[in-house]
Chains A and B, each alone.
Chain A
């Protein structure tokens, strides 16, 4: 596979298509379409939505973690175990 790039980036189409197909395989819905140009835009849009939903999920999970940590302080033995593991 000759992937030659000049200094100002004339990247071959096959590289881009390969990258896009790899990206598609990472998305949650495993729809396998033919790689036409229209689905590239849709793929990028789905990627953006997926990243946004993952960000929201991180926020939500950190919220729940902070609630758990507030109730967990010096209470359960599990916290003591974890803290002692981290300390050593």
Chain B
């Protein structure tokens, strides 16, 4: 299941709780630039119809974060959190208040009772996202040697609220690498476009 354009093969192993090959997982988690470019350019090519400048800026920014999350490995919690946020935002804007009310009713009563298949998939996905974030948010894990500055870091890294300190550091490093690659990609695109 390796992507055909990245030269270094990524060992796709599920990280054990005891982390025997800790450094190997760390070294293998570099973001793949061709995949990043592919997702971002594809998202950009879909943007044509939006006329307002502000809305286009917002769409481009969201496309940047979504493509960054898609290019990353789904093992990464920040990637799943970003995609979950994007999905929730899309379902919220598409279907409006009815989905919000139905979502609240679903999370209140455990068995879901869907009415139509299209709204069912949206509400199930949204309910799952809601449940995961609602379960993660009122439960900040207390660490023993954790400095108070880690709280600010938790707020910055997506999905950082429910993580332990150790995984927070790891996710931060991966998020930083991906962010840097995304910034380089966008800068390169701007240079390319402005030279035409």
Q: How large is the interface on B (under 10, 10 to 19, 20 to 34, 35 or more residues)?
A: 35 or more
Q: Does B64 lie within 8 Å of A62, measured CB to CB? A: yes
Question: Which A residues, 62 to 86, have Cβ-Cβ distances below 8 Å to chain B?
Answer: 62-70, 72-73, 76-79, 82-83, 86
Cβ of B60 under 8 Å from chain A: yes
Q: How large is the interface on A (under 10, 10 to 19, 20 to 34, 35 or more residues)?
A: 35 or more
Q: Does B165 lie within 8 Å of A86, measured CB to CB? A: no
CB-based A-B contact count at 8 angstroms? 130
Residues on B with C-beta less than 8 A from A48 are 149, 152-153, 156
Which residues does A use to contact B, with CB under 8 Å?
1, 3-5, 9-11, 13, 15-16, 19-20, 22-23, 26, 40-41, 44-45, 47-48, 50-52, 54-55, 57-59, 61-70, 72-73, 76-79, 82-83, 86-87
Give 19 CB contacts A-B under 8 Å.
A1-B22, A3-B22, A16-B165, A19-B173, A41-B149, A44-B149, A48-B149, A51-B153, A51-B157, A51-B172, A54-B183, A62-B57, A62-B61, A63-B57, A65-B44, A69-B47, A70-B53, A77-B196, A82-B45
